[in-house]
Every structure is written in structure tokens, then in C-alpha cells.
């Protein structure tokens, strides 16, 4: 274990996180699923599985399949709805004593507003993460996140409806991620989460059918990390909001790529499935890295790779 002198804490959208390592929405359930295996209380925070106004059954199976250094999923936002979430999931989540960031998804601006209002009444929610980017549902979801105007509109409407810190979660399936980040900022977001998954697909050549019943799915895991780092880098340059960086993080070294690209915090997603204790390991290794690099505060590394002068080329 590392000596205590490294300060891993970061400030994000008004929250004080003891360390910058969160778990990503949809990859850690409601915390309890991993309770036996993971010291959840050490986490910087938990982003819950997306909650919708009404319960959702989700998509038919098969819902997942493996791809090179990645996986596809098309869960389709299966969840018990906001009332059950508040009544049955929040009590256990509270017990962990870490910031709970509730990921919300709607089919309309009104849905997001209602969710925000309802969750504002619930104690111990640290922030809302607006999922504007789920590629696996027919209505809502990604439709918001790929359109700057809609993004601004939904964020602004939710901004009116709640005092909770708002984190807009962006879709990578866009031509210009920075402009979507700007739109979220203009709508009043306190922070940005990126990236959600890449829209993708695999085909079962023997059955001559898509691998997933939903046809397309959401690509996550190490495969997408370079795309995610690039997007964090671009958004950090364009938008003056704190960023939660994610996409294929499997180690402290990966997390540091995001931090140096400009993320204030990071979220571990798919890697939780493979190595449940990975977030704890990343926290330890971040501390070690800082110690060995003589960095007193991890926050000093935020954006550290920016501003290094471009190498000049030949004509």
C-alpha cells in the first residue's frame, strides 16, 4: 500500500470525490450485485444503471456478444422504474456511503424533467447523469445526444427542474463531439460524461443473422479507448466543464490517459465484468503512480498532456 501523502481527491460539479475513480452506469448494477466482491465504500462514486419513469422490460436476448477487445450490448434500458429505484434500490445504495450519481433516461424532454423532479425529492442523491446517448432504444436515448439543439433543450429543461448537479452523458456517435459538449454547457450542465458506447454490430455468419436480437448494439471495452481519449481531449479543449472520462479503462495507466487528456474523474465500465475488484486496484495504482512521479495531488495531472508543443514537420 502506498503512503498517505498523495491527495487523490477531486472536485466535480460541486461534489467532492475522495478519489477520481467511479464505476460507469450499467456496469455495476445498483451496487449490491458486487457488494460481496468489491469494497464499494472505497469508490469515488457510483453511476447507477439508467432509471426511467416507468419500468422497462428491455430488449429480447441475445443481448450481448464479444468482439475484439470489446463487447456489444443491447440491454435496452431494462430497469424497474424510478419508483422502485427510490423505494428498493436507493436504501442499499445509501449504505455504501459514497456519492450516488443516478443515470436517467427518457423518451422525451418531459420524461427527463419528471425524473429529475422525482429524484430531487429523494435523499442522498449526489447528482444526475443525463443519459442522452443510449444507442439501444428506439425512442429517446441517442436521438438526444446526437443533436446539439435537443441536447441543449433537454439539459436546460432539467436545469429548471432540479437543484441537483447535472452531468450530461454524451454519445460518441457524432461528427463533432465538442459542439455537443458546448450545447450541454449552454443548457446548464455542471459536468460532462463521455463517452457512451459506439453504435456497432456483429453478424453470426452461420445463422446469417445479426448476433444480437436488437440487430445493432453498443460497443464498449478496451477497443474503444482510443476514440474515447480523443473525444475527452477535444471536449476538454472546447468546453470549460469538468469531464468524467470513460471508455475501455482497465488500469491506472488507462485512467491516467483520460486524466491527462482533460478528465477530472474517470469511470470504469466493462472491465468491472471481467475483474470486479478493478476499481480498487486502479485507485491503489493511481496513488502509486503519483507517488513515484512526485505528484502530490492527482488533480494536478488533469489535462497534463495538453499544451505540449506540436512537433513541427517537414513541408
Partner 1 sequence: MYAQTTQLIQREQVGPGYHLLEFDCPQVAAAAQPGQFVHIRVTGDWDPLLRRPFSVMGTNEAEGSFQVLMRTVGRGTQMLAEAQSGTKFDIMGPLGNGFALPGPEGEVVLVAGGIGVAPLIFLATALREPGGSRYIRGLFGARSADDLCCWLEFSGVCDEFNAITEDGSTGEQGLVTDFLPPQLKRGTGCVYACGPALMLAEVARQCEGAEVPCYVSMEQRMGCGVGACLGCVIPTQADGTQRYQRVCKDGPIFDAEVVDWEAIHRGCTPG
Ligand X SMILES: Cc1cc2nc3c(=O)[nH]c(=O)nc-3n(C[C@H](O)[C@H](O)[C@H](O)COP(=O)(O)O)c2cc1C
Number of residues that bind partner 1 (CB under 8 A): 44
Q: 47, 134, 290, 297: which is the annotated catalytic residue?
A: 134
Task: Using CB under 8 A, list all residues that contact a copy of itself.
Answer: 57-60, 67-70, 72, 76, 146, 173-175, 198-203, 205, 208-210, 213-217, 219, 221-227, 229-230, 233, 248, 253, 256-257, 260-261, 289, 301, 304-305, 308, 310-315
The entry of a copy of itself, partner 1, ligand X, none near residue 66 (CB within 5 to 8 angstroms by kind) is partner 1
Per-residue 3-state assignment (H helix, E strand, C coil) for the chain = CCCCCCECCEEECCEEECCCEEECCCCCCCCHHHCCCCCHHHCCEEECCCECCCCECCCCCCCEEEECCEEEECCCCCECCHHHHHHHHHHHHHHCCCCEEEEECCCCHHHHHHHHHHHHCCCCCCEEEEECCCCCCCCCCHHHHCCHHHHHHHHHHHHHHCCCCEEEECCCCCCCHHHHHHHHHHHCCCEEEECCCEEECCEECCCCEECCCCCCEEEECHHHHHHHHHHHHHHHHHCCCCEEEECCCCCHHHHHHHHHHCCCEEEECCHHHHCCCHHHHHHHHHHHHHHHHCCCEHHHHCCCCCCCCCCCCCC
Q: Which x/- pattern, by CB under 8 A, does the window 9-48 give for partner 1? A: -----------------xxxx---xx-xx-----------
Distance CA(3)–CA(18), nearest Å, equals: 16
Scan for cell 460524461, then name that residue: 193
- Minimum CB distance to a copy of itself smaller for 65 or for 122: 65
Active site residue 134: yes
52: contact with ligand X by CB under 6 A:
no
Binders of ligand X among residues 197 to 236 (CB under 6 A) are 197, 220-221, 224
Q: Angle CA(25)–CA(99)–CA(231) in degrees, nearest 5?
A: 45
Q: Which does 274 bind (CB under 5 to 8 A by kind): ligand X, a copy of itself, partner 1, none?
A: partner 1
- 103 binding partner (options ligand X, partner 1, a copy of itself, none; Cβ < 5 to 8 Å by kind): ligand X
Distances in Å between the Cα of 94 and the Cα atoms of 32, 121, 245, 267, 281 are 11, 15, 24, 19, 23
- Site for partner 1 contains 78 (CB under 8 A): yes
First to last CA, the chain: 51
172 near ligand X (CB under 6 A) = no
135 binds partner 1 (CB under 8 A): no
Decide which of a copy of itself, ligand X, partner 1, none touches 202; Cβ closer than 5 to 8 Å per partner kind: a copy of itself
Q: Is 57 in the site for partner 1 (CB under 8 A)?
A: yes
> Under rule CB under 8 A, which residues in 178-217 are in contact with partner 1?
204, 206-207, 213
146 binds, among partner 1, a copy of itself, ligand X, none (CB under 5 to 8 A by kind): a copy of itself
Of 66-74, 97-105, 181-189, 279-287, which segment contacts partner 1 by CB under 8 A? Answer: 66-74
Residues making contact with partner 1 (CB under 8 A): 26-29, 33-34, 36-37, 49, 57-58, 60-71, 73, 75, 78, 204, 206-207, 213, 221-222, 250, 270-277, 311-312, 314
Q: Could you list the active site residues?
A: 134
Amino acid at each position: 500500500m502506498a503512503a498517505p501523502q498523495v491527495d487523490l481527491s477531486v472536485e466535480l460539479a460541486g461534489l467532492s470525490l475522495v478519489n477520481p475513480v467511479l464505476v460507469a452506469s450499467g456496469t455495476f448494477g445498483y451496487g449490491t450485485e458486487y457488494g460481496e466482491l468489491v469494497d464499494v465504500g472505497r469508490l469515488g462514486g457510483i453511476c447507477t444503471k439508467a432509471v426511467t419513469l416507468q419500468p422497462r422490460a428491455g430488449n429480447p436476448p441475445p443481448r450481448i456478444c464479444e468482439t475484439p477487445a470489446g463487447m456489444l450490448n443491447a440491454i435496452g434500458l431494462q430497469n424497474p422504474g424510478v419508483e422502485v429505484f427510490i423505494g428498493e434500490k436507493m436504501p442499499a445504495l445509501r449504505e455504501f456511503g459514497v456519492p450516488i450519481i443516478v443515470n436517467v433516461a427518457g423518451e422525451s424532454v418531459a420524461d427527463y424533467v419528471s425524473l429529475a423532479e422525482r429524484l430531487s425529492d429523494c435523499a442522498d442523491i449526489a447528482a444526475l447523469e443525463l443519459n442522452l446517448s443510449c444507442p439501444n432504444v428506439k425512442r429517446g436515448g441517442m436521438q438526444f445526444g446526437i443533436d446539439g439543439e435537443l441536447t441543449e433543450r433537454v439539459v436546460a429543461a432539467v436545469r429548471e427542474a432540479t437543484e441537483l448537479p447535472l452531468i450530461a452523458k454524451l454519445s460518441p456517435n457524432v461528427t463533432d463531439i465538442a459542439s455537443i459538449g458546448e450545447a450541454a454547457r449552454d443548457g446548464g450542465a455542471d459536468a460532462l460524461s463521455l463517452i457512451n458506447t459506439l453504435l456497432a454490430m456483429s453478424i453470426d455468419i452461420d445463422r446469417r443473422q445479426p448476433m444480437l436480437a436488437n440487430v445493432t448494439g453498443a460497443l464498449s471495452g478496451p477497443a474503444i479507448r482510443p476514440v474515447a481519449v480523443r473525444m475527452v481531449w477535444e471536449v476538454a479543449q472546447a468546453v470549460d466543464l469538468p469531464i468524467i472520462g470513460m471508455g475501455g479503462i482497465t488500469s491506472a495507466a488507462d485512467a491516467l490517459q483520460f486524466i491527462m487528456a482533460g478528465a477530472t474523474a474517470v469511470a470504469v465500465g466493462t472491465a468491472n465484468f471481467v475483474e470486479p475488484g478493478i476499481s480498487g486496484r486502479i485507485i491503489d495504482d493511481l496513488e502509486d503512480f503519483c507517488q513515484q512521479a512526485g505528484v502530490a495531488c492527482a488533480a494536478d495531472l488533469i489535462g497534463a498532456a495538453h499544451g505540449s508543443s506540436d512537433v513541427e514537420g517537414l513541408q
